[in-house]
A = this chain, B = another copy of it.
Amino acid sequence: MSLATIQCCAPIAREPLSEGDAAELATLLKAVADPVRLRLLSMIGSHTGGEACVCDLTDAFELTAPTISHHLKVLRTAGLIDGERRGTWVYYRIVPETVNKLGALFAPLAEPATV
């Protein structure tokens, strides 16, 4: 097997993660490692204007409002979404900086290192 075939260019395969970084990233990954939360995140991000309130999200799920709220709270606590109250509703939007931390870990680098 040649070196080229086993090379993986995602940063996670470039150097060992420190204990601290691994703990922080694991917490973030646990927050997204749920089908409902992944769908909520994608629905918020792709909603008109990049934000959505609970009223925009509940119809897609056969879940109670408190359950949806719980999942939104997990995403918010992890820093993946932020919320702003306007009138009756809290409007959520994605925090790109936090999502990008996961992207930076797993995405292949734009310019693979030369072997």
| CB pair A46 B102 closer than 8 Å | no
Whether A3 lies near B50 (C-beta < 8 A) is yes
Q: How near does chain B come to A63, taking the closest CB pair, in angstroms?
A: 12
In the complex the two chains form, what is the Cα distance from A60 to B19 in whole Å?
10
A94 with B8: in contact, given A26-B34, A35-B19, A39-B19 (CB under 8 Å)?
A: yes
**Which applies to chain A's interface (DSSP): helix, strand, loop or mixed?**
helix
A96 contact from B9, B22, B51, Cβ within 8 A: B9
Complex interface bits, A83-115 against B, C-beta within 8 A gives 1, otherwise 0:
000000000011010011011111110100000
Do A100 and B94 touch across chains, with their CB atoms under 8 A apart?
no
Q: Are A41 and B29 in contact (CB-based, < 8 A)? A: no
When C-beta atoms are compared, the residue in chain B nearest to A26 turns out to be: B35
With A33-B30, A107-B103 already in contact, the answer to whether A38 and B50 are too (CB < 8 A) is no
A111, chain B: closest CB distance, angstroms: 11
Which A residues from 8 to 67 make CB contacts under 8 A with B?
A: 8-10, 12-17, 19, 22-23, 25-26, 29-30, 32-36, 38-39, 41-46, 49-51, 60
